[in-house]
Amino acid sequence: MAASTTVVSLGTRKRGRKLTNGALTAMTFDLTFGETDNEENDIMEAGYVPAGVTVIGFIVTASVMDTGTVAVVHSVLLGSTALVAGLTNAQTGTSGLYPCTPTTTTAATVVSAKTTTAPDTAAAGTMQITPIYFSAP
């Protein structure tokens, strides 16, 4: 199957807030996956972090989305760049905190989940992605 991108619709786009005092900020984006939304190279857009912030990590929580011999693996993208790779949360339904190389945005930038390895037996599920960032100096 061809890779697909599920775009955040204009009416449901969540945008993170930027605090002016440089305080650490986080905002959770909720994703709902159907059984066909985890094919290899599928991208599910979650929401946007604002311009002028430095992203330092993500909290990722996922339900079980692979009921066969577990194989599903995700990456978290900021724009088109994978900041966190090799996430196996959807194999067992777990949460984790994942630091990344600090990355500063120059414009509002989309946060996405990318399926890098398709599940053995796909199941519908959910994922929450929480970017952690602060206002850039």
- For 68-104, the pLDDT digits (tens) are 899 999 999 999 999 999 999 999 999 999 999 999 9
The C-alpha atoms of residue 25 and residue 134 are separated, in whole angstroms, by 6
- For 107-137, the pLDDT digits (tens) are 999 999 999 999 999 999 999 999 999 986 6
Domain spans, the chain:
34-135
- Type and span of the H or E element at 91: helix 89-92
Beta-carbon-side half-sphere exposure of residue 55 (alpha carbons within 13 Å) = 32
Rounded alpha-carbon distances, angstroms, from residue 8 to 15, 48, 63, 124: 11, 9, 20, 18
21 has a pLDDT exceeding 90: no
- For 43-73, the pLDDT digits (tens) are 999 999 999 999 999 999 999 999 989 999 9
